[in-house]
Amino acid sequence: MASRAFIAGLSGLVLTDEERSFFRASDPWGFILFRRNVDTPEQVRALTDSLRDLTGRTDLPILVDQEGGRVQRLGPPNWPKYPAAKIFVQARGNDPETARELVRLGARLMAHDLRAVGINVDCVPVLDVPAPGSHGIIGDRAYGDDPDTIATLGRAAAEGLMAGGVLPVIKHIPGHGRARVDSHEELPVVDARRKELERDFAPFAVNADMPLGMTAHVVFTALDKDNPATWSKKVIGQTIRKTIGFGGLLMTDDLSMKALGGDFRSRAEKAIAAGCDMLLHCNGSLPEMEAVAAGAPLLGGKARKRADAALMRLGHRPEPFNPVDARARFTAILGAHLAG
């Protein structure tokens, strides 16, 4: 039986009776956790186990934003602190090969942490290319300032996660790095020319074979002057699928962000009509989720094939790995930055 094409947030540390009833009836494809859902490793494991018991799916996608730096949902004292993406280049004196090795190692360690508590999807890597004068919402979450470095280190992060049995999500397609406002708070409009935007597409094109991707709630006037990428048939069909060549499951960024207007059912329906495969709703508000679910179709056609293909990549055993030795090496190299 097909699941419904949305990913749901949760309100707290355990499922409420209302959530159990709603999720049983609506059957979302997956779930996403935030800090409000995280206390101890034992609690997180119990929560993810309860979601899998509720849905009856052992391969249920459970997502988190575990980037490091400002965006780390599982953190001290129960989990290690990880550096922001940009730190890897700075810490190794701009040596790209060493930086790549460290990024992969850090992602492999994150995968070990996440898999241990039942999380199997990490919304990493950020492949946006920050532009001068842009809002700081991306900033040091990016792996540098140039497309080649971001493409290479982003791929290293994705490979490290997959080696540890966790799926990556490339974000925010086709690029959030030129936005001058935070899409959590308002709708960014980027007036750059098409040729300038193509520079930003490059990291996504290099990683277009990855299983999962997330859209940007950004208007690119050179591509579609009327709609943010999440709602744009032109951007999804021509830029994301054709120019960039992304063939994986395309999910929206969080539908509860203030960049988008209108009621939640219409937000969901516009995204699906534009070509998004999957809807993401994060804040745990049950009335909002009910509206999103009403606008979410059952997974079918190409969307279901992409979803199934992504989950197939979770079927392998993680590569052999000694987390104690790996963490000691990682900490020794990046110790000063981890302590800062």
What are the residue ranges of helices labelled H in the chain? 17-26, 41-55, 87-91, 96-116, 147-163, 194-206, 233-234, 264-274, 286-295, 301-312, 323-339
Stretch 200-225: mean pLDDT, rounded? 97
Tokens coding 306? 């992409």
pLDDT at position 81 over 70? yes
What is the residue extent of each domain of the chain? Answer: 4-334
User: Is 70 exceeded by the pLDDT of residue 338?
Assistant: no
State mean pLDDT over 199-213: 97
| Contact (Cβ atoms closer than 8 angstroms) between residue 88 and residue 102 | yes
What pLDDT, on a 0 to 100 scale, did the predictor assign at position 198? 95
The mean per-residue pLDDT over the stretch 41-48 comes to: 98
pLDDT digits (tens, 9 = 90+) for 49-80: 999 999 999 999 999 999 999 999 999 999 99
Catalytic center residues? 184, 253
Average pLDDT of span 77-91: 90
Q: How many residues does the chain have?
A: 340
Once rounded to an integer, what is the mean pLDDT over residues 190-213?
96
Q: Quick one: what percent of the chain has pLDDT higher than 70?
A: 97
| 333 — pLDDT class (breaks 50, 70, 90) | confident
Q: What integer best gives the mean pLDDT of the chain?
A: 95
**Lowest-pLDDT range, 9-13, 208-212, 291-295, 333-337?**
333-337
136-181 pLDDT per residue, tens: 899 999 998 999 999 999 999 999 999 999 999 999 999 999 999 8
The Cβ-side half-sphere exposure at 65, using a 13 Å CA radius, reads 18
Q: Which CATH superfamily is domain 4-334 in?
A: Glycoside hydrolase, family 3, N-terminal domain (3.20.20.300)
Report d(CA 196, CA 192) in Å as an integer.
6
